[in-house]
Structures are given as structure tokens and as C-alpha cells.
């Protein structure tokens, strides 16, 4: 089979021939139809000290099941998070991280919705918004952010604001249901908001915190780091909440499954629609990474083996 790999920090990415993996106990072998490209994986290529397996969201057909698998069988279409090599013709999923793709949904729908949607859903849950409150989403045109905007609207937010790096993305964000779209460099981010879902971090934390109303909550789910001053929290009785999807998936699988089912329900009802920026062939994985690195994407970036 074909597989994308790199052999030194920073790349380049290249295509190689590799043996088809065997599923171990509790694992499924999946013929990949779509692979989601995520910012954490892109960052690992450029920042990790040693090369890592290019994993992430995959969707496709089960071709074999390992010992002890009870929930899935060959021929079914599934999606899930691959911790090994996912940029490939075939990949292995653990049964606990896998769900069926419903009838009427494509493999591209699945990788654009499930993992990114779960992160957006979980971040919004962590913020605990009350109906009528104002919600601001940074990186609002990203694979996670564009779903967070729609989920905030579906949760009856009184006002939804998208924040982006490029004003050219504003029309896209408003079309998702945002009432307004601001740029990070704006002197003011407008009227204060009750909740902020932040996927950027770094230098953006200070203006984001300033945009919160008293008693507001900022949910940080970025791998971009950043520092805030305790005084900036005290003066407005504001909160910063860290959110990591992996902790939910490993520690609270029943909640993970509940959120996943709710996402598919919202998708089926048309309340949430994943947007796909572009689909790339495996041999063009470097171009897919470039779309993420340059913040050019409007929605999800997908590989099609």
C-alpha cells in the first residue's frame, strides 16, 4: 500500500510503499476513503524532535477485524481516530475510537464532522453557555472553528461572533450563522462576550481575555501555548478553562459516544453542515499541510487515498 511519511523534522513529506498492517486485538483494518488533516499533526511535522506517524481522522470500509472486536464487521463504513499511520491506503482503528458512518453521509462528511466537530462540541460544553449569551469563536474559518460557530447557533446563543486572521474569510464565517466577524488585529473586538472558544492561543490570549464580559469564560483548546496574567482574571472575575478531547475519549467514553451521536443528529437535521476547503490526493499531502500552515483554508482539508 501507499503511505505518507517524513524522515526529519520539518519534512519533506513523501510517498512510500509499505505493507498493509494487521489489526491487533480490539482493532479494525480500514480501507481509507478520506483522511482529515489537522493542525496538531501539521505542527508535529514542523515542531516534534523526531518524526511521528501521520495519524488523525480517517473514514472508510472495514476490511478485517482483530480478535475480540464485537461492534463492527467487514463491509461496514466507519470513521474514527487513528493513532498510527493514517495518511495511507489502509489504516488501523481501535474499536473504542470508531463509529459507524450513517446512511446518507459520505466519508468526507465523516472526517470533516466527527473529530473536529467533537472538539468544537466539547469546547462549547466546557464553556457552559446559557441560551441568549454571546459566544466568540477564534479561528472561525478552520476545520473546528466553522463547526463551533454552527454549534453555538444551534445552542441558542444570543450573538455569535467569529474571529479570523484575514478579512477575506468574513463572508464565509457569516454564511455559517455568525452575526459578526472581527479580525484579530482590530483595535476593538466589539461588545463584550460571555464565552470565547479559543483555538489559537499565543499572543491572542490577551485580547481574547479583554473581550470577555465580567464572569466570562474562555475555553483554551489550542496547542499554540500562551500566557495570561492572574490579575486580568481577577479584575473581571473571569475564567480560563483548558479542554483536551483525548482526555474525554480515554476517560469518559460514554460521554464521547453521547457527543458523537448528538453531532450526527444535528448533521442529519441540517443544523450543522461541515464545509470542505479542498480534497488532495495522498501524493499531494504537502499541499494539504500548506493550506493549514498558511491559514488559507475555509473549513476542513481532506486527503483522498
pLDDT in tens, 129-145: 999 999 999 999 999 99
d(CA 283, CA 291): 15
Q: What residues are paired with 45 via a beta bridge?
A: none
d(CA 223, CA 210): 21
Half-sphere CA count of 234, side-chain side, radius 13 A: 3
pLDDT tier at 115 (50, 70, 90 boundaries)?
A: confident
Q: What pLDDT is stored for residue 96 in this prediction? A: 85
d(CA 189, CA 183): 8
Question: What is the chain's mean pLDDT, rounded?
Answer: 94
**How crowded is residue 272: how many other Cβ atoms within 10 Å of its Cβ?**
26
How many angstroms separate the Cα of 224 from the Cα of each of 43, 188, 198?
Answer: 9, 22, 10
Q: What percent of the chain is predicted at pLDDT more than 70?
A: 100
The widest CA-to-CA distance across the chain, in whole angstroms, is 58
How does DSSP classify residue 271? S
234-282 pLDDT tens trace: 999 999 999 998 888 888 989 988 999 999 999 999 999 999 999 999 9
Is the pLDDT at 287 greater than 90, yes or no? yes
d(CA 303, CA 41): 13
Q: What would the grid cell of residue 112 be?
A: 470533516
172-194 pLDDT tens trace: 999 999 999 999 999 899 999 99
How many angstroms separate the Cα of 247 from the Cα of each of 3, 219, 251?
Answer: 28, 15, 6
CATH 1.10.3720.10 fits 116-245, yes or no: no
Q: Where are the domains of the chain?
A: 2-101+275-303, 116-245
How does DSSP classify residue 170? H
d(CA 256, CA 34): 22
CATH 3.90.180.10 fits 2-101+275-303, yes or no: yes
Amino acid at each position: 500500500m501507499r503511505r505518507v511519511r517524513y524522515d526529519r523534522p520539518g519534512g519533506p513529506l513523501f510517498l512510500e510503499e509499505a505493507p498493509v498492517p494487521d489489526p491487533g486485538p480490539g482493532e479494525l483494518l480500514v480501507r481509507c476513503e478520506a483522511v482529515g488533516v489537522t493542525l496538531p499533526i501539521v505542527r508535529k511535522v514542523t515542531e516534534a524532535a523526531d518524526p511521528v506517524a501521520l495519524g488523525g481522522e480517517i473514514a472508510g470500509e472495514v476490511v478485517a477485524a482483530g480478535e475480540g472486536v464485537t461492534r463492527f464487521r467487514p463491509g461496514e463504513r466507519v470513521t474514527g481516530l487513528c493513532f498510527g499511520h493514517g495518511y495511507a491506503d489502509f489504516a488501523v482503528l481501535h474499536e473504542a475510537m470508531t463509529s459507524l458512518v450513517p446512511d446518507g453521509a459520505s466519508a468526507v462528511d465523516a472526517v470533516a464532522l466527527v473529530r473536529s466537530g467533537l472538539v468544537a462540541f466539547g469546547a462549547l460544553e466546557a464553556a457552559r453557555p446559557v441560551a441568549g449569551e454571546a459566544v466568540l469563536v477564534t479561528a472561525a474559518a478552520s476545520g473546528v472553528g466553522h463547526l463551533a460557530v454552527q454549534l453555538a447557533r444551534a445552542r441558542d446563543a444570543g450573538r455569535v461572533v467569529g474571529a479570523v486572521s484575514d478579512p477575506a474569510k468574513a463572508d464565509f464565517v457569516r454564511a455559517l450563522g455568525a452575526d459578526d466577524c472581527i479580525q484579530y488585529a482590530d483595535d476593538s473586538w466589539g461588545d463584550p462576550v460571555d464565552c470565547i472558544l479559543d483555538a489559537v492561543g499565543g499572543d491572542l490570549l490577551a485580547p481574547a481575555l479583554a473581550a470577555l464580559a465580567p464572569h466570562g469564560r474562555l475555553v483554551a483548546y489550542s496547542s499554540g501555548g500562551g500566557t495570561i496574567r492572574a490579575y486580568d482574571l481577577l479584575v473581571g472575575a473571569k475564567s480560563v478553562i483548558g479542554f483536551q478531547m483525548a482526555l474525554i475519549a480515554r476517560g469518559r467514553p460514554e460521554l464521547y459516544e453521547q457527543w458523537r451521536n448528538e453531532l450526527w443528529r444535528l448533521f442529519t437535521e441540517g443544523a450543522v453542515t461541515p464545509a470542505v476547503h479542498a480534497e488532495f490526493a495522498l501524493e499531494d499531502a504537502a499541499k494539504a499541510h500548506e493550506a493549514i500552515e498558511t491559514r488559507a483554508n475555509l473549513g476542513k482539508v481532506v486527503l483522498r487515498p
